[in-house]
Amino acid sequence: MEAKITPLTLSEIWIYPIKSLVGIALTEAQVTPRGLAYDRRWMLTDANGKFMTQRSLPALALIDVALEANSLVISHRQKNLPPLLIPLTSPTAEVLTVQVWDDTMEAHPVAAEADQWFSKALDQPCRLVYQPDSTHRKVDPQYARHDEITSFSDGYPFLLIGQESLNDLNTRLESPVPMNRFRPNLVFTGGKPYEEDAWEAFTVGSQDFFGVKPCARCVLTTIDQITAEKGKEPLKTLSKYRNWNSKILFGQNLLPGNLTQRIKVGDSIKVWKVKQAPLEQKV
């Protein structure tokens, strides 16, 4: 009897409006050249304009973000702070220079009120900034196709992970971990574990995507997104079978096609071109 082929289907869509804070699950989203609409357009920085993330500040996981009609609503899961509303429109004309890894770019400060709220929430000075449309932060030219841009993401506008990849990982762990440890934008069902490693060109609904670089994972994956507690897994287990050139790979970074469309949960996925995956699969 032939094995049943499970169709590839988009099962989850996630955005992370403020870099390294809680994600928001959507049923549909607009693809833009720099990522899904509202994804990582805001970011917290220190006094020198350098980006802040859960890597060094796990307490960021305790700050919730909700998307309403005209604003983000920010609240703290443990501290008694009033909700903070952040307009979705570009806040001011003032320009700051901010830094994500080795990239420097222009951003707009949001508001003194926002800076004060986050400084209280994190018990240290910080500033909330917004990436305007005029800022074109280019992806690594080694992996770019046509000078693509991205938001305040670590380096690429989209991250894709297959549900079967997480399922396989969880069979290797004493305690399973949820998908939110890996902060994907797109999750799909069907197919085989880690097959996204080899996807070079595919469509989600009518939207073209290109797989350009496997995602190297860091200590952020070891932080519980509910409690902000830090452990050793799943990075410890992943390092045993997903290690390539001293990088631990899980998920595929994507670039969009020239024409950007809306995508929705339930869209079918068609893979048009595959490439050699960096790891020999050990499933």
Q: Which amino acid is at 173?
A: L
Specify the pLDDT at position 1.
Answer: 45
Question: Nearest 5 degrees, angle CA 150-CA 9-CA 212?
Answer: 35
Residue 214 near residue 34 (C-beta atoms within 8 A): no
pTM over 0.85: yes
Residue 116 near residue 109 (C-beta atoms within 8 A): no
Kindly compute the dihedral angle of the four CA atoms of residues 264, 31, 20, 117, in this order, to the nearest 10 degrees: -100
Residue 173 near residue 141 (C-beta atoms within 8 A): no
Q: Which residue has the tokens 């020239």?
A: 258
Specify the pLDDT at position 282.
Answer: 46
Q: Which residue has the tokens 């994972």?
A: 217
| Residues, the chain | 283
Specify the pLDDT at position 90.
Answer: 75
Specify the pLDDT at position 3.
Answer: 52
Residue 187 near residue 11 (C-beta atoms within 8 A): yes
Q: Which amino acid is at 276?
A: Q
SS3 call for 72: strand
Backbone angles phi, psi at 83, to 5 degrees: -60, 145
User: Which residues does 65 contact at the CB level (< 8 Å), separation at least 6?
Assistant: 16, 17, 18, 21, 22, 23, 24, 72, 73, 74
Specify the pLDDT at position 93.
Answer: 82
Rg (CA), the chain: 19
Specify the pLDDT at position 92.
Answer: 77
Specify the pLDDT at position 101.
Answer: 97
User: For each of the chain's 283 residues, which pLDDT tens digit applies?
Assistant: 455 668 999 999 999 999 999 999 999 999 999 999 999 999 999 999 999 999 999 999 999 999 998 999 999 999 999 999 999 987 778 999 999 999 999 999 999 999 999 999 999 999 999 999 999 999 999 999 999 999 999 999 999 999 999 999 999 999 999 999 999 999 999 999 999 999 999 999 999 999 999 999 999 999 999 999 999 999 999 999 999 999 999 999 999 999 999 999 999 999 999 999 998 644 4
User: Which residues does 257 contact at the CB level (< 8 Å), separation at least 6?
Assistant: 207, 208, 209, 210
Domain boundary assignment for the chain: 9-259+267-273
